[in-house]
């Protein structure tokens, strides 16, 4: 069942219950009050009539009920029950010989009348004529006295016979009650539609916004209408959405920063701080994969180790700072003449290593000689007028060595030979 239907049903039931309670109680109360007032007046009227009748006639000798009925009619109706007859006609007895006068409608009440011994004279449809009035009924019975002697009893018990006017009042009241019920139902429906529309609209916005948040768009805004609890909920939702979106943004930023820092740290961990070339650890890892790849695919791989000649002397003669400049510049020359697929690193001190994938020994040896010549030809005098820098290199290209590390050891041996045989040269072996 939708919220709107529930809302309308609640209003409808509340409205109907309120109308039924107020109207029903008013109807019952009014009926009771009218009845009690009329009963009192009618009882008084009846008592007076009986007293007057028995003052004049003997009940039995006057043929009982018939005689009393005519007497009652000749006294006229109870004030307020029927329109009074025109002057002159009031209290006029029926003309003799015309028999029983025409009855002017039922009296509003039939009361019970008993003689001085509580034998019922008029039973009002409750008791039979002649039967004894029960003890319970005698309690409330009012004595009729004629010349100081109790001659009869009138019981207030009676059968109500509402007048036409009263029936009209009660019918009008019932109609008013039905009008009230119908009015309350219509009002409940209209109010239900109007109120639930507002409520449903805000809830619809909230549901849509929550779904959008679930879909990833954390920053949502729903309209805030009015100042009730639903508006408060919408405002609180907006604040929460904004805070969530901001927190998410901050988290993303710090996550990105952490990733960047991690990337930087990882990069630093594989780089040499002075020359910015890769370091020994990175070279060993990468050279090992290059070796495996070359073996698996039976592709050539050349490994080179180069060492700056008399570097200690450079440090000693020109300063350690000049030595650093030399290291950086040599690194620059090596990096500047490598292919992207080549691997170059500072191996430690003044030692540099290179791995040339897909490169046969002659090709690698020629390239190394070119690099050696470039280092030698660099205008070192710009760093220091007397500065000269050369490099010796060993090149090895036989995968049969078994590992990249073993190939490097072989290259180192060739470097040693280059140093031994005069430096500033490239020694190689297949
Ligand atoms: N300036 C500088 N010097 C360094 C650095 N790392 C190592 N060295 C120096 O490099 C020098 C290497 O000297 P050696 O191993 O004797 O070799 P060499 O003097 O080049 O002699 P050969 O290799 O036989 O030609 C040492 O004096 C180290 O202190 C560095 O980062 N900066």
The ipTM, to two decimals, is 0.90
Per-residue pLDDT at 25 exceeds 90: no
Please write the tens of the pLDDT for every residue from 198-212. Answer: 778 888 899 999 999
In this prediction, residues 258-282 reach a mean pLDDT of 93
Nearest CA to ligand 1 atom 14: 312
Averaged pLDDT of the chain: 86
Q: CA dist 303 to 27, 143, 366, Å?
A: 114, 144, 13
Please write the tens of the pLDDT for every residue from 375-400. Answer: 999 999 999 999 999 999 999 999 99
> Residue 428 Cα, ligand 1 centroid: separation in angstroms?
23
- Nearest atom in ligand 1 to 311's CA: 20
Per-residue pLDDT at 101 exceeds 70: no
Nearest CA to ligand 1 atom 5: 349
Q: What is the pTM of this model?
A: 0.53
User: Number of helices and strands (H, E) in the chain?
Assistant: 10, 9
Cβ–Cβ under 8 Å, residues 222 and 206: yes
Nearest CA to ligand 1 atom 12: 312
Per-residue pLDDT at 253 exceeds 50: yes
> Residue 356 Cα, ligand 1 centroid: separation in angstroms?
25
CA atoms within 13 A on the CB side of 304: 33
Residue of 77, 79, 75 lying closest to 56 (CA atoms): 75
Q: Cα–Cα distance between 283 and 286 in angstroms, integer?
A: 5
> Residue 287 Cα, ligand 1 centroid: separation in angstroms?
24
79-83, 270-274, 294-298, 299-303: least confidently modelled range: 79-83
The pocket around ligand 1, CB under 6 angstroms, is made up of: 274, 307-313, 315, 320, 323-324, 327, 349-350, 419
Query: How many residues make up the chain in this entry?
Result: 430
pLDDT value, residue 156: 72
How crowded is residue 284: how many other Cβ atoms within 10 Å of its Cβ?
Answer: 15
pLDDT value, residue 430: 66
Fill in the DSSP letter of residue 108.
S
């Amino acid at each position: 069942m939708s919220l709107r239907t529930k809302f309308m049903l609640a209003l409808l039931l509340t409205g109907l219950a309120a109308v039924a309670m107020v109207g029903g109680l008013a109807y019952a109360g009014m009926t009771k009050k009218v009845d009690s007032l009329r009963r009192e007046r009618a009882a008084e009227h009846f008592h007076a009539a009986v007293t007057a009748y028995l003052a004049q006639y003997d009940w039995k000798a006057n043929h009982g009920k018939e005689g009393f009925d005519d007497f009652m009619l000749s006294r006229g109706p109870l004030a307020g029950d029927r329109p009074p007859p025109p002057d002159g006609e009031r209290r006029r007895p029926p003309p003799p010989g015309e028999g029983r006068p025409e009855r002017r409608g039922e009296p509003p009440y039939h009361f019970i009348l008993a003689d001085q011994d509580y034998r019922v004279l008029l039973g009002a449809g409750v008791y039979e004529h002649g039967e004894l009035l029960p003890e319970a009924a005698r309690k409330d019975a009012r004595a009729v006295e004629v010349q100081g002697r109790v001659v009869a009893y009138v019981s207030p018990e009676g059968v109500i016979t509402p007048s036409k006017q009263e029936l009209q009042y009660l019918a009008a009241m019932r109609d008013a009650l039905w009008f009230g019920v119908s009015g309350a139902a219509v009002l409940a429906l209209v109010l239900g539609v109007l109120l639930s529309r507002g409520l449903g609209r805000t809830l619809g916005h909230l549901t849509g916004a929550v779904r959008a948040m679930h879909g990833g768009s954390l920053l949502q805004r729903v309209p805030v209408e009015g100042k009730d609890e639903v508006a408060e909920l919408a405002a609180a939702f907006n604040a929460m959405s904004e805070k969530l979106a901001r927190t998410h943004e901050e988290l993303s930023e710090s996550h990105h920063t952490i990733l960047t820092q991690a990337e930087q740290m990882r990069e630093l961990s594989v780089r040499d701080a002075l020359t910015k070339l890769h370091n020994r650890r990175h070279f060993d890892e990468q050279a090992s994969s290059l070796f495996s790849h070359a073996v698996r695919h039976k592709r050539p791989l050349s490994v080179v180790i180069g060492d700056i000649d008399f570097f200690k002397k450079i440090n000693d003669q020109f300063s350690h700072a000049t030595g650093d400049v030399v290291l950086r510049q040599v690194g620059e020359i090596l990096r500047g003449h490598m292919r992207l697929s080549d691997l170059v690193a500072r191996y430690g001190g003044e030692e540099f290593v290179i791995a040339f994938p897909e490169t046969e020994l002659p090709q690698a040896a020629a390239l190394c000689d070119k690099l050696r010549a470039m280092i030698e030809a660099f205008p070192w005098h710009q760093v220091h007028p007397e500065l000269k820098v050369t490099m010796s290199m060993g090149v090895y290209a036989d995968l049969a060595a078994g590992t990249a590390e073993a190939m490097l050891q072989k290259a180192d041996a060739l470097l040693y030979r280059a140093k031994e045989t005069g430096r500033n040269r490239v020694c190689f072996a297949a």
